[in-house]
Amino acid sequence: MFRRVISSSAENDDMHRRVISSSQAMSDDYIPRTVEDIFIYYRLRRVALLRAFGTDVGTLYLLCDPGYKENLCLYGYPDGTWDVKEECMVLPPNLPEPAVGINHARDSKSTIDWVTFVAEHSDSWLLSLAFFFSVDLSHHDRESLFEKINDIPTLDEKVKEYYPGQLLQSRIQKTNPNTV
C-alpha cells in the first residue's frame, strides 16, 4: 500500500522523507467545499502525520536535528505523504502553516515529550486547516464537521497509545544507534 522513498538533494545535501501512497494523489492546491470533503481532507493529512509519528518516527526524529536547520515544520499532505522542511515564505500563505521550530525543543525535552509536543502542534494545525476550509459553511455544517473531527482520536492521543514505556526510545535508536 505504501512505499518509502528517501532522496537527497544535490543542491544542499538535504535529506527529505516522503512516504508515497499508491492511491490517487489529491492536489495540494485542492480546496474542499463540503463537510464531507473537508473531513476527508482532514483525515488524509492526519493519516500522513500518523505515519510520521508511527512507523517513521525514527526518521522524523533525525530530520528534526536542531543543529541542521532552523524553523522546521512538519507537513502532512493529502496524498498520504509527510515532510519536514522550512516554513513556506509565501506571504500571505495560501493555507495556514504548521507550527514553526519543532526542532528547537527536541534536545531540551525527553524523546516522548518532544514527540507529544510535535503531535499537539500538528493537531492544532489540522484543526486550523479545517476551520480555514469551513469558513463558508453554515453553522449546522460547521457543527457537523467538528463533531466528526471530535469523534476520532487526536494525534497526541494516538502517540501516547503507540508508545508505552521505552518503546519510542528503542524505535528511534533502531533508526540511528548514535542518537538519544
pLDDT of 112-154, one tens digit each? 889 999 999 999 999 999 999 999 999 999 999 999 999 999 9
Query: For the purposes of burial, counting CB atoms within 10 Å of the CB of 72, is it exposed (0-12), middle (13-18) or buried (19 or more)?
Result: buried
C-alpha cell, 113: 515529550
83, containing H or E segment: strand 82-86
pLDDT of 49-80, one tens digit each? 999 999 899 899 889 988 878 889 999 999 99
SS3 assignment, position 8: strand
CB neighbour list of residue 19: distance below 8 Å, 6 or more residues apart: 2, 3, 4, 5, 48, 51, 52, 56, 80, 81, 82
Give the residue-averaged pLDDT of 97-117: 86
Higher-scoring residue by pLDDT: 168, 22 = 168
CB 51 within 8 A of CB 20: no
Q: Half-sphere exposure of residue 73, counting CA atoms within 13 Å on the CB side?
A: 15
Q: What is the domain partition of the chain in residue ranges?
A: 26-175
